[in-house]
């Protein structure tokens, strides 16, 4: 009876287009937001911030960016990590060239650079489709990582070839760098990711969202009903790469603290693709569910055996983790190809009619 | 700058033709291995529309199994046979556990499943054989390790015997595959599957059998590639990267074209080597082989979306 | 056309004004001539049928009108002016909407969203306005939703509004596709075999909808159909094609008595 929607009538299209037409959804979201903004920050340890909360949010954001491109607009990309790299390096250059710059502004601006690069590498999508395009995005992946390594200006000619996040201050508080507090960083990440999620929800449910989905489902029909495919695909690349770039800047500035070029190599691209797919392509919620699973699994695997009194070497944990993720991907694809979000949708449908069978 | 790009490389090529030959030979060795892996992709794609990302890890897994068995004291050639057995079991398991439940799902789902297989095999391989590098058992397999020296135009051309062996074995495997595909009933069924699944099935071979077979062939290819490449660079998970190189080959040659895979592979192998030596290292700081093939394929596809060997597609509503 | 202020019984009659004129259209694929020097016109407010045996080039003709193919020779006059070479989406924006022989709905979206895609040519809020769901984007969304709801009412698909189209029956999908095309408020509506694969009851429904669209909104309709009975009942004028050539043109009665047409359908050797 908890999820009963009967009796909640809509009297205007405006009400029907509200973000949460069903009251219970709004309540559930409210509870989650209270946990995210109040309960977790009060209760979480340094370990929880660094291994779960912050990375889950950042990975969810990166997956959301990819999901716009692949899940909504139907353009499979295997180069996500490289675009995260563009965001991270752009942010690094901005804060080192212009140290007076507000760090959050720098992070949000760094997405502009990755959006530009994303559009450039999106141009082939106008001629190339499907797997051919996926391979083409690998060109971006390999070329950009090579560039991060060879273009010394990007990392300010450091001998190490890596970028180190300097201490960055905002209103007298360190928000990035070695002296920044995890709690502060968590709030910065949470705020940015929340706002971006909101914008993504709006974009995907409106005109642009329908344009993308039409392009994804039947591109020829989409063009014949008046959709400019070039515009549709390139805006998808632009929006997607922007979000991915911001996620990349957060990844380095709010979490890792430093980065080498190979951090943005293909395994990271795949990890984000898994999150998007296991979470559910064409879903915003799914990115969070997928990120919780992919980020949470190694933590559980790493702490559970010790808690049970069966110590396993950390390298073994890593190997088991890789294997488990592989098995889980196959498992989820078999039981629900549309991902965790779809699973939740089905559960919710059941809850709406519960306790009656129909 | 213009001189460096348009003149100097060609001057160098003419000044030292023996070195040019050396470069082309190195490229050819890589190229034939790319072609071989691409062929594995094409077979699986034609028979099941699956874009098999696990091809790369199969190379590593096969090489690790071979070396691992040998280190356990199994004689080299017995290890080869046992490894083939392992690859067969792998093909059967993949068909039964992964592919069969996913029949009829969209292409991207099947593609993801092969990435799942990739991760599973990486984890499994590391658990069984450890994550550290191993040395390919080149001598134990009787592969010659000397080198043949030529002196064309008074210069110097060194061909390593293990490379010659690799080219020879890979070439023979390609020929054997072509014969199999063209001359046997099973082979023709595999080829026909890409064009007309119903007709192919009417010859009385079940889809499951064909799938197990193509994955097993991909396994054999993986073993040969693993040995050949392992002999040059050692056996580690980094080997996976060479399988990525088969991807631009597929872009150039087409996902379904057998000829395309072979010619595309050789072309990419030689061109990326030429580019690296004559342009990449002098101008760009080297290591361009990581991306050259992809960028080349991308540029070609911008002008010929159907690839070098595909026919122009007329779109219909 | 979906304007409330206009009396529903506007009942436009067929006019003599040509909305579109196809002049000496030829279409070749390599060496194959799909359409050979065909000319005909489509008049404002009429239902124009294109018929012919399989492979006659009917679908190619429709694809030329909707801009999917560019004719190798000949020109199209539209609303009195020659139509320049255009991409299909630009043609759609000049008021040409269509349905497809093999339904081309967006399977991953609900019925409502599918019909809303028909309005995309009328929506132009910027990306920032959309992302913030404020101002223009929001008003546009509500205004266009109202028009779409009228189409949904008109075609009697209210109860499946929020159903993903993948779950619908074939007949309903055809109707949703018509709704999507209609939502664009087209000047000319192209229907590619609207009754193909339908049972008798579904065909009757669809015929009624087509006639209603033509009567109530005065929409000009060009359609391809195999069912001769349906074509003769629905259309004001008929073009008959065979092997890429035009072999007849006129009212249903004229066409029915045309010797070339009878030969083509009875299979007289050429």
Closest CA relative to residue A335, chosen from A264, A270, A280: A280
Instruction: Supply the DSSP string of A174-227, one letter for each residue.
Output: EEESTT--HHHHHHHHHHHHHHHHHHHHHHHHSHHHHHHHHHHH-HHHHHHTT-
| C-alpha closest to that of C100 among C149, C66, C150, C130 | C66
The residue in chain C having the minimum alpha-carbon distance to the alpha carbon of residue A13 is: C142
Q: Nearest-CA distance from B99 to chain C in Å?
A: 24
Is residue B108 less than 8 Å (CB to CB) from chain A?
A: yes
Is A139 in contact with B291 (Cβ distance < 8 A)? yes
Q: Comparing C-alpha atoms, which of A104, A247, A258 is closest to residue A184?
A: A104
A-C contacts at Cβ under 8 angstroms = 102
B111 and A277 within 8 Å at the Cβ level: the answer is: no
Å between B311 CA and nearest CA of chain C: 13
pLDDT digits (tens, 9 = 90+) for A184-201: 999 999 999 999 999 999
**Beta-sheet strands, E only, within chain A:** 163-164, 168-170, 173-176, 258-259
Per-chain mean pLDDT for chain B: 84
Whether residue B124 and residue A323 make contact (CB cut-off 8 A), yes or no, is yes
Instruction: Please say if the pLDDT value at position A252 is more than 70.
Output: yes
pLDDT at residue A338 in the model: 84
Task: Measure the CA–CA gap between A92 and A98, rounded to whole angstroms.
Answer: 10
Contact B317 C192 (CB under 8 A): yes
According to the model, what pLDDT value does residue C10 have? 42
Domain housing B255: 2-303
Report the C-alpha gap between A71 and A286 in whole angstroms.
11
Q: Kindly give the parts of chain B with pLDDT less than 70.
A: 194-203, 310-317
């051919």: which residue's tokens? A132
What is the predicted pLDDT for the residue at C1? Answer: 46
**Nearest residue in A to B113, CA atom:** A330
Residue B225 lies in a domain: yes
Is B231 inside a domain boundary? yes
| B182 lies in some domain | yes
Domain that holds residue A326: 47-353
Q: Is residue B313 part of a domain?
A: no
B85–A contact, CB cutoff 8 A: no
In C, minimum Cα distance to A221 occurs at C104
Cα–Cα distance measured from residue A250 to residue A257, given in angstroms and rounded to the nearest whole number: 10
For tokens 């080297």, the residue is B286
- The CATH number of the domain holding residue B205 is 1.10.3470
Residue A177 lies in a domain: yes
Examine residue A38 and state whether it is found in any structural domain, yes or no: no
Q: Which residues of A touch B49 (CB under 8 A)?
A: none
Integer Cα distance of C10 and A187 in angstroms: 61
The closest CB to that of B127, out of A224, A319, A337, belongs to: A319
Contact A13 C118 (CB under 8 A): no
Q: Which of B311, B314, B317 to mutate to test the interface with C (most CBs of C within 10 A)?
A: B317
Which of B120, B294, B301 is the closest to A127 by Cβ? B301
Task: Give how far A152 is from chain B: nearest CA, Å.
Answer: 11
> In this predicted structure, what is the pLDDT of residue A66?
97
Residue C156 distance to chain B (closest CA, Å):
27
Instruction: Say how many C-beta atoms besides its own lie within 10 A of residue C119's C-beta.
Output: 24
CA distance A263 to B10: 37
Our CA-based measurement puts residue B93 at a distance from the nearest CA of chain A, in whole angstroms, of 13
Helices (H), chain C: 58-65, 88-93, 111-117, 127-132, 135-154, 170-183, 200-217, 228-234, 252-256, 259-266
Interface residues from chain B to C (CB-CB < 8 Å): 314, 317
Nearest by Cα to C227 from C254, C204, C253: C204
**Which of helix, strand or coil describes residue C221?**
strand
In a domain, A126, yes or no: yes
Report the run of H or E that residue C191 belongs to, with start and end.
strand C188-192
Chain B nearest CA to A106, separation (Å): 30
Q: What letter would DSSP give residue C165? A: G
Residues 28-67 of B with CB under 8 A from A: 51
Mean of all residue pLDDT scores within chain A = 88
> Chain B contacts of C63, Cβ < 8 Å?
317
Residues of chain C with C-beta less than 8 angstroms from the C-beta of A226: 89, 92-93, 120-121, 184
Q: Which two tokens stand for residue B64?
A: 């690790």
Can the peptide bond before residue A355 be classed as cis, meaning omega within 30 degrees of 0?
yes
Interface of B with A in 237-276 (CB under 8 A): 244, 247-248, 250-251, 255
Pick the closest to residue B37 from B262, B252, B256, B254 (CA basis). B262
Q: In chain C, what residues touch A202 (CB-CB under 8 Å)?
A: 130-133
Task: Flag if A226 and C100 touch (Cβ within 8 Å).
Answer: no
Q: Do B317 and A128 make contact, defined as CB atoms within 8 angstroms?
A: no
pLDDT digits (tens, 9 = 90+) for B137-150: 877 777 777 888 88
The answer to whether the Cβ–Cβ distance between B250 and A135 falls below 8 Å is yes
Kindly tell me if the per-residue pLDDT of A223 is higher than 90.
Answer: yes
Look up residue B160 and give its DSSP letter. E
**A234 at C interface, C-beta within 8 A:** no
What 8-state DSSP symbol labels residue A35? I
Q: Which residues contact C156 (CB under 8 A, 6 or more apart)?
A: none
| pLDDT over 80 at A10, yes or no | no
pTM for this prediction: 0.90
Q: Which domains are assigned to chain C? A: 1-95+186-270 (3.40.50.300), 108-185 (no CATH)
How many residue pairs bridge chain B and chain C with CB atoms within 8 Å of each other? 8
B45 falls within a domain: yes
Query: Is B311 within a domain?
Result: no
Nearest to B314 among C29, C100, C101 (CB): C29
What's the structural domain count of chain A?
A: 1
Using an 8 Å CB-CB cutoff, list chain B residues near A145: 290
What are the φ and ψ backbone dihedral angles of C36, each rounded to 5 degrees? -120, 100
DSSP conformational letter for C108? T
* Dihedral angle computed from the Cα positions of residues C184, C186, C189 and C190, in that order, rounded to the nearest 10 degrees: -70
Gap from A291 CA to chain B (nearest CA, Å): 16
> Among the residues of chain B, which ranges form H helices?
2, 8-15, 17-48, 55-71, 76-93, 107-129, 161-183, 185-195, 197-201, 207-233, 240-244, 246-253, 258-275, 292-303
Residue A19 lies in a domain: no
Q: Which residues in B lie closer than 8 A to residue C101 (C-beta atoms)?
A: 317
Give residue ranges of C with CB < 8 Å to any A CB. 66-68, 87-89, 92-93, 97-98, 100, 104-109, 113, 116-118, 120-121, 123, 125, 127, 130-133, 137, 140-142, 145-146, 149, 180-181, 184
Residue B273: both structure tokens together: 């080597």
SS3 of C116-132: HHCCHHHCCCCHHHHHH
- Residue A270: its chain B contacts at CB < 8 A? 115
Least reliable range by pLDDT among A151-155, A343-347, B158-162, B310-314: B310-314
Give φ, ψ of A173 to 5 degrees: -120, 140
- Residue B116 to residue A333, Cβ atoms within 8 A: yes
Which residues from C are below 8 Å from B108, CB to CB?
none
Our count of domains for chain B comes to 1
Looking at mean pLDDT, say which of A139-153, A294-308, A331-345, B2-16 comes out highest.
A139-153
For C186, the closest chain A residue by CA position comes to A225
What is the pLDDT tens value at each position of chain C, 270 positions in all? 454 443 434 445 667 788 999 999 999 988 888 999 999 999 999 999 999 888 888 999 999 999 999 999 999 999 989 999 899 999 999 999 999 988 899 998 999 999 999 999 888 888 888 888 888 888 898 999 999 999 999 999 999 988 999 889 988 999 999 999 999 999 999 999 998 888 888 889 999 999 999 998 889 999 998 877 888 889 999 999 988 899 889 998 888 888 888 887 766 554
* Angle, vertex CA B160, rays to CA B155 and CA B165, nearest 5: 135
Assigned domain for B310 exists: no
Closest chain B residue by Cα to residue C192: B317
C140 contacts on A by Cβ (under 8 Å)? 207
> Which residue from A minimizes the CA distance to C103?
A221
| CATH code, A219 | 1.10.3470
Closest Cα in chain B to C99 = B317
């Amino acid at each position: 009876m908890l999820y009963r929607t009967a009796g909640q009538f809509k009297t205007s299209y405006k009400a029907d287009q509200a973000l949460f037409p069903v009251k219970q959804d709004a309540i559930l979201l409210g509870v989650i937001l209270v946990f995210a903004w109040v309960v977790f920050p009060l209760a979480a340890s340094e370990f929880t911030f660094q291994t779960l909360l912050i990375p889950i949010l950042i990975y969810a954001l990166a997956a959301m960016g990819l999901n716009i491109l692949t899940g909504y607009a139907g353009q499979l990309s295997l180069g996500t990590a490289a675009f995260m790299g563009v965001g991270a390096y752009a942010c690094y250059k901005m804060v080192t060239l212009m140290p007076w710059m507000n760090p959050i502004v720098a992070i949000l601006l760094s997405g502009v650079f990755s959006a530009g690069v994303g559009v450039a590498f999106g141009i082939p999508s106008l001629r190339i489709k499907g797997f051919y395009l996926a391979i083409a995005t690998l060109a971006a992946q390999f070329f950009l990582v090579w560039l991060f390594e060879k273009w010394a200006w990007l990392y300010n000619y450091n001998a190490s070839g890596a970028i180190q996040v300097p201490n960055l201050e905002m209103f007298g508080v360190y928000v990035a760098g070695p002296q920044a507090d995890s709690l502060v960083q968590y709030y910065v990440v949470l705020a940015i990711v929340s706002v971006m999620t909101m914008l993504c929800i709006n974009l995907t449910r409106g005109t642009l969202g329908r344009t993308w989905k039409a392009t994804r489902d039947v591109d020829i029909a989409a063009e014949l009903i008046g959709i400019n495919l070039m515009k549709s695909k390139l805006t998808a690349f632009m929006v997607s790469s922007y979000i991915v770039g911001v996620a990349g800047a957060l990844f380095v500035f709010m979490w890792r603290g430093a980065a080498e070029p190979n951090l943005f190599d293909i395994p990271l691209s795949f990890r984000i693709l898994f999150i998007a797919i296991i979470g559910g392509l064409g879903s915003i919620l799914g990115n969070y569910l997928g990120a919780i699973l992919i980020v949470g699994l190694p933590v559980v695997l790493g702490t559970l055996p010790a808690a049970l009194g069966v110590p396993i070497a950390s390298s073994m944990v890593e190997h088991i983790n890789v294997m488990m993720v592989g098995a889980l991907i196959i498992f989820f694809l078999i039981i629900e190809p549309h991902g965790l979000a779809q699973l939740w949708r089905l559960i919710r449908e059941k809850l709406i009619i519960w306790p009656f069978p129909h | 700058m213009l001189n460096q790009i348009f003149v100097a490389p060609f001057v160098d090529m003419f000044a030292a033709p023996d070195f040019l030959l050396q470069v082309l030979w190195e490229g050819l060795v890589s190229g034939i291995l790319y072609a071989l892996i691409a062929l594995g992709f094409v077979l699986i794609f034609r028979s099941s529309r699956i874009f098999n990302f696990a091809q790369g890890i199969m190379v590593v897994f096969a090489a690790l199994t071979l070396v691992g068995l040998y280190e356990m004291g199994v004689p080299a050639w017995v290890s080869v046979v046992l490894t083939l057995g392992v690859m067969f079991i792998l093909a059967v398991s993949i068909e039964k556990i992964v592919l069969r439940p996913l029949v009829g799902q969209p292409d991207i789902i099947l593609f993801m499943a092969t990435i799942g297989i990739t991760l599973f095999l990486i984890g499994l391989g590391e658990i069984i054989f450890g994550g550290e590098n191993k040395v390919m058992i080149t001598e134990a397999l009787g592969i010659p390790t000397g080198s043949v020296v030529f002196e064309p135009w008074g210069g110097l051309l060194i061909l390593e015997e293990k490379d010659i062996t690799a080219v020879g074995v890979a070439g023979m495997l390609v020929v054997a595959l072509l014969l199999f595909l063209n001359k046997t009933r099973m082979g023709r069924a595999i080829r026909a599957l890409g064009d007309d699944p119903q007709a192919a099935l009417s010859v009385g071979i079940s889809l499951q059998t064909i799938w197990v077979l193509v994955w097993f062939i991909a396994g054999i290819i993986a073993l040969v590639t693993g040995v050949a490449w392992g002999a040059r660079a050692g056996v580690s998970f980094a080997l996976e990267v060479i399988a990525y190189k088969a991807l631009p080959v597929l872009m150039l040659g087409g996902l379904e074209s057998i000829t395309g895979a072979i010619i595309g592979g050789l072309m990419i192998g030689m061109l990326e080597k030429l580019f690296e030596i004559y342009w990449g290292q002098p101008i760009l700081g080297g290591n361009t082989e990581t991306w050259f093939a992809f960028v080349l394929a991308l540029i070609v596809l911008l002008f010929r979306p159907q690839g070098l060997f595909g026919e122009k597609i007329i779109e219909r509503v | 056309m979906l304007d409330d202020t206009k009396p529903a019984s506007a009942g436009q009659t067929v006019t003599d004004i040509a909305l579109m004129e196809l002049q000496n259209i030829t279409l070749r694929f390599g060496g194959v001539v799909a359409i050979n020097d065909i000319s005909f016109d489509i008049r404002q407010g009429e239902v124009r049928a294109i018929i012919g045996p399989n492979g006659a080039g009917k679908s190619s003709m429709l694809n030329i009108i909707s801009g999917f193919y560019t004719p190798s020779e000949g020109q199209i006059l539209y609303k009195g002016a020659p139509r320049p070479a255009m991409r299909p989406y630009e043609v759609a924006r000049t008021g040409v909407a269509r349905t497809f022989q093999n339904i081309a709905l967006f399977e991953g979206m609900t019925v409502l969203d599918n019909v809303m895609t028909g309005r995309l040519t009328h929506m132009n809020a910027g990306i920032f306005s959309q992302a913030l769901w404020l101002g223009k984007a929001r008003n546009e969304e509500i205004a266009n939703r109202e028009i779409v709801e009228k189409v949904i009412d008109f075609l009697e698909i209210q109860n499946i509004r929020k159903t993903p189209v993948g779950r619908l029956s074939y007949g309903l999908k055809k109707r949703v596709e018509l709704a999507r095309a209609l939502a664009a408020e087209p000047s000319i509506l192209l229907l590619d075999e609207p009754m193909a694969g339908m049972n008798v009851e579904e065909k009757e429904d669809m015929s009624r909808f087509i006639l209603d669209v033509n009567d109530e909104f005065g929409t000009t309709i060009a359609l391809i159909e195999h069912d001769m009975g349906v074509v003769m009942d629905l259309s004001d004028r008929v073009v008959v094609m065979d092997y890429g050539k035009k072999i007849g043109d006129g009212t249903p009665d004229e066409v029915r008595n045309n010797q070339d047409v009878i030969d083509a359908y009875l299979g007289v050797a050429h």
